Amino acid sequence: MRTTADDPPDLLRPDGTPVRVLVVDDEPDLLEVLGAVLRYEGWEVRTAADGAEAVSAAREFRPDAVLLDMMLPDIGGIEVLRRLRAESPQVCVLFLTARDAVEDRVAGITAGGDDYVTKPFSLEEVLARLRGLLRRAGAARTVEGNRLVVGDLVMDEDAREVTRDGDLVELTPTEFELLRFLMRNPRRVLSKARILDRVWSYDFGGQAHVVELYISYLRKKIDAGRTPLIHTVRGVGYVLKP
Amino acid sequence: MRTTADDPPDLLRPDGTPVRVLVVDDEPDLLEVLGAVLRYEGWEVRTAADGAEAVSAAREFRPDAVLLDMMLPDIGGIEVLRRLRAESPQVCVLFLTARDAVEDRVAGITAGGDDYVTKPFSLEEVLARLRGLLRRAGAARTVEGNRLVVGDLVMDEDAREVTRDGDLVELTPTEFELLRFLMRNPRRVLSKARILDRVWSYDFGGQAHVVELYISYLRKKIDAGRTPLIHTVRGVGYVLKP
DNA sequence: TAGGATTCTCAGAGGCGGCTCAGAGGTACC
DNA sequence: GGTACCTCTGAGCCGCCTCTGAGAATCCTA
């Protein structure tokens, strides 16, 4: 069907062109990975390694959203934000910050509808936040909340609520993230390596064994005593399907 | 008729020229084999023995996909990836890694459209992954999923599902790989040696007897009580046909 | 029809992948 | 500062998958 798993209308603007994202970070590896993932997910991407480059790129590229690292070698993130806003006031910004960075200051900035993610983050988290931002900003999407549905399993991404056959299921953050990734790729076999890449943060050094562990947690909470939705494909990975 | 078995539209770009693949590995034997197989399958191939050569070859050759060994004598695989991406952001990369090297993986490597295969691999596996990458990347994308059909036998490569006359057939990894090879070469007699070369990993030291064994497994699961699709051509090999 | 070659199938050993439990360490929140 | 929760590691177990070997079945040719 499409390049990626499901079929999100939130990747196209009203005029049919793909949504544009500007990624700003001074770590080349991270820039590379983020760019690749976003492109793969259907966004049109442009990257910049510092504040000055970001501002000039934005002027020409006219992004709908900006992924902005707060710690840039030249201009501070806040100053970059100010300049971006000066030219296009309606642009969405998702900040990337260090965990210990002054979160209250960030909180002040995000008041305007923007959001932030602390490093190290997982790719799924960034994608989810970005989708959320654009959905809230864009007049495009009308529907109630962001609901993912597979069989009788329902996830409300905004409320972070999951129900199976109407029963509320309580999940820990990692479980939630894992399940979201599975639900965004139903009927497709996902390898443990891929899951690890997407759901765990990029600096996680552990083994694929954790994936098995969390799958077993999810099974206990979701599949226990019912027709299973999570299936193991031996030697390959896992699938979610009714 | 043609060089390769079936008639895959995924081997031609929109403009009608064959898809280009750059193969990068420092083992001459492996490079040789991979190049030969890919060429035989209809791809246009270029090879490189190290990172520097890969980058310069890519610049000139403009490949659609790159088969990239992670362990290169000069530049690291990731650095090569970044340089490749810097010039052509949309190129697909299939990484070749040692089994134990997967542990110290760099997060996000498979996160974009990319994928990886661990050594030792089977040629069919590499081909399948490469096709998958290109299919997902290409805007050419036609149907949902990658479906192979022979008579009433249907294989969905993405979901790893096989059905005969609508009935789901459960296969082990090796059975699946063998069947995929047969289904990609319908109505063509395949020798046991050839099957062994393509379906089993290149360092497999066993006898052609395993092929007979796995054919018998497949027959039990697919042909049992129906008009057989798998036929023995005595002294030559096997054919799959309605 | 007999004999040899080839193929098929069964049974079992061994290994590996996946699942689960228990517990340590860390973190957030009170 | 304490407590509760969350995350991850390690180890053990179980079951499936793969392959070997041997014997039965089938085919072809003399």
Between CA A155 and CA A162, with CA A161 as vertex, the angle to 5 degrees is: 50
CA distance A3 to B76: 28
Digit-coded pLDDT (tens) for A33-73: 899 899 888 899 999 999 999 999 999 999 999 999 988 88
Between the alpha carbon of residue A102 and those of residues A25, A69, A117, the distances in Å are 18, 14, 13
pLDDT at residue number B106 = 61
Count of beta carbons in the 10 Å neighbourhood of residue A60: 8
B112–chain A nearest CA distance, Å = 4
Nucleotide nearest to A234 (CA to C1'): C17
Q: Answer yes or no: pTM beyond 0.75.
A: yes
Residues 6+ apart with CB under 8 A from A242: A150, A151, A152, A227, A229
Query: Are B159 and A188 an interchain contact pair (Cβ–Cβ within 8 Å)?
Result: yes
Residue A140 scores a pLDDT above 50? no
Digit-coded pLDDT (tens) for A58-114: 999 999 999 999 888 888 778 888 899 888 888 999 989 876 665 556 655 665 668
Higher-pLDDT residue of A111 and A32 is: A32
DSSP of B122-172: -HHHHHHHHHHHHHHH-TT--SSS-EEEETTEEEETTTTEEEETTEEE---
CA of B229 to C1' of C2 (A): 33
Cα A189 versus chain centre, distance: 20
A188–chain B nearest CA distance, Å = 5
Compute the mean pLDDT over every residue in chain A, rounded to the nearest whole number.
86
- CB burial of A22-34 (b: ≥16 within 10 Å; e: otherwise) equals bbbbbeebbbbbb
Over range B134-138, report the average pLDDT: 79
pLDDT at residue number B82 = 85
Residue of A33, A234, A241 with shortest CB distance to B108: A33
CA distance B56 to B222: 48
Residue A10 scores a pLDDT above 50? yes
Query: Are B107 and A196 an interchain contact pair (Cβ–Cβ within 8 Å)?
Result: yes
Residue of B85, B116, B172 with shortest CB distance to A36: B85
pLDDT at residue number A139 = 46
Which residue in A6, A7, A32 has the most chain B C-beta atoms within 10 A of its own C-beta, making it the best mutation to test that interface? A32
Residue bearing tokens 């992004």: A63
Q: Is the CB of B207 under 7 A from strand C?
A: no
CA distance B171 to B161: 9
Chain A residue numbers with beta carbons less than 8 Å from the beta carbon of B89 are 35-36, 39, 45
